Structure 1
Amino acid sequence: MSRKPPSGAVVDGIDFDRWAVILCKPDCVERGLVQRVLDMIRASGVTVTDRMDVVAQPWQAHVVYRDLLAEAKRAPRDLSTYLDEAFADRPVSVALAHGEPGIHAWLRQLVGHTDPTLAVAGTIRGDLGDDSLSVALAERRLVRNLVHTSDDPDAARRDFGTWFRDGDCLADPVFERCSVILCKPDAVERGLVDAVLDRIGAAQVAVSDRLDLTVQAWQAHVHYWDLLVDADWFPDRDIPACLDAEYADRPVTVALAHGEPGVHHRLRQLLGHFDPTRAAAGTIRGDLGDDSLAAALAERRLVRNLVHTSDDLDAARRDFGTWYGARRRALLSPLSPPRQRTSVDT
């Protein structure tokens, strides 16, 4: 079966009002209930296509449950550990659901209450669930409730990018040679984007596919998921609020950097220390930065340090999905000859 959606609408990001992602969780797979769950969804009048069986990576669960990770008052302190135990390196099945506008609310009703013991008969969790929230709390884990579907069109777009990447990309060597450059709002507002990209391009790296965009809040949350997970390290700051203040609805520029294996480490060295006052001369932040960690702490905000590049090949894969999306996968083809900072259509 094709790993691509049957219509260009999903890939083009046009029709997420009518599309949702179905995630059959590890307990559903282990109990052999995936087909029954998908059949119940089909029987409700929803078209189900493109089933894909995958092994979940930790970041995928973090992204799917980013809202809980960001709301420390509503989630247990060790939620990230619970997520890793429930999902990391365990099999899941995902599929696409297509229907009328409002499909997301309809599916959530069909799935039923989070706690299977409170889910009514006729719902998936009510009929097939065998766990309870009280048992999960007693055992300090997540409740096993079989299935998740996208909450709304924005969540469907995010879920699609999380799970429905090209099936071969997990082993795709392109990310060993490709990094994502994020010129942050302070770089844009100070008019330094060209200077930053020129510095990177001069370091034997081909810079291509520049894209100017306005950040959606979820992109900042996914990009900085590690800050959200480790919010306890920053007791003096509200990390979700800081991310929204620095990024949401503000302009950034992204581009791709192509080089030899090891490009991620070399670019991070070129950027310099995250605190511009500690970045060495000759680095981008050392030469162009005008903020400091001390000032950021005093003002209870994030430090403004101009630019980010992907930490490693896994981060590059995630960054590409966050900022470029599945429909721009073709941009990852090898550059021949290298194209310098060409624009892409938004």
Structure 2
Amino acid sequence: MKSYCLIIMKPDALERELVEKIIQRFKNNGFTIEMLGYKTVTEKLILKHYAHVVKKLGKSFEKAAIKSFVGKGMLPIILSQKGNDAIANARLLIGATDPSTASGGTIRGDYGSDSIEMANQEDRCCNNLIHASDAQESFLEELSLWFSPEAYEILMTD
């Protein structure tokens, strides 16, 4: 049996040309790329993606997300891994949300160059390279946002 997770390479990973290094980290840890996409982010897309965060943090985060992502490219990637723990394993590999507190050996710990504190001072989102779904429910929601409806069907028949 295999399980799936969705990661999204954020604009800072693309701008700093870290995509190949990050993908290699996943491959080295037993992940397989199932689907790879590319989206130029629209306001509608990013606000749907971060709706739960906007609800929690309010209008300031909404403005920061629009400023940080709209008009920029992002790479959504569906990964699989043997077993039931692809989401948890991906999140462990990625590291803490705040790169300044992420452990060495994690993607954010090794490649991160920003902090939530600095981002808040500059009214923007933290440049933390990568997003990962945090649960099966969010994986399915994000899958429908970042990929065509056929993606779900392809994965479920695999």
State the partner residue of 1:278.
Answer: 101
State the partner residue of 2:24.
Answer: 198
Residue by residue, what CA displacement relative to the aligned partner does 1:99-136 show, whole Å, maximum 9, x if unpaired?
xxxxxxxxxxxxxxxxxxxxxxxxxxxxxxxxxxxxxx
Match of 2:78 among 256, 260, 264: 256
Cα separation, 1, equivalents of 2:55 and 2:31: 32
State the partner residue of 1:186.
Answer: 12
TM-score, normalization by structure 1: 0.43
State the partner residue of 1:244.
Answer: 66
* Mapping of residues 257-336 of structure 1, within 5 Å: 257-259=79-81, 260-333=83-156
* Mapping of residues 150-169 of structure 1, within 5 Å: none
Runs of 4+ in 1 over 4 A off after TM superposition: none
Cα separation, 2, equivalents of 1:187 and 1:286: 14
SS at match of 1:282: coil
SS at match of 1:177: strand
Cα separation, 2, equivalents of 1:241 and 1:332: 34
Cα separation, 1, equivalents of 2:148 and 2:157: 18
Query: Between Structure 1 and Structure 2, how many residues are aligned?
Result: 157
State the partner residue of 1:71.
Answer: none
SS at match of 1:277: helix
Q: CA 1:187/1:331 → structure 2, altered by over 3 Å: closer, same or farther?
A: farther
The answer on whether the counterparts of 1:209 and 1:331 sit within 8 Å (CA) in structure 2 is no
The structure with higher relative contact order (CA 8 Å, sep 6+) is 2
Residue by residue, what CA displacement relative to the aligned partner does 1:61-93 show, whole Å, maximum 9, x if unpaired?
xxxxxxxxxxxxxxxxxxxxxxxxxxxxxxxxx
Q: 1:208: how far off?
A: 2.5
Q: 1:294: how far off?
A: 2.0
Q: 1:284: how far off?
A: 0.2
* Mapping of residues 1-346 of structure 1, within 5 Å: 177-232=3-58, 238-259=60-81, 260-333=83-156
Q: 1:191: how far off?
A: 0.8
Q: 1:293: how far off?
A: 1.6
Give the aligned CA root-mean-square deviation in angstroms: 1.8
Q: 1:333: how far off?
A: 4.1
SS at match of 1:198: helix
Cα separation, 2, equivalents of 1:296 and 1:306: 13
Percent identity of paired positions between Structure 1 and Structure 2: 25
Cα separation, 2, equivalents of 1:187 and 1:334: 31
Q: 1:329: how far off?
A: 2.8
Cα separation, 2, equivalents of 1:181 and 1:331: 18
Q: CA 1:334/1:267 → structure 2, altered by over 3 Å: closer, same or farther?
A: farther
Larger radius of gyration between Structure 1 and Structure 2: 1
Residue by residue, what CA displacement relative to the aligned partner does 1:231-261 show, whole Å, maximum 9, x if unpaired?
25xxxx7222111111111101111111221
Q: CA 1:310/1:324 → structure 2, altered by over 3 Å: closer, same or farther?
A: same
Q: Which runs of 5+ in 2 are unaligned?
A: none
Amino acid aligned to 1:310: S
Cα separation, 2, equivalents of 1:215 and 1:302: 14
Cα separation, 1, equivalents of 2:77 and 2:65: 21
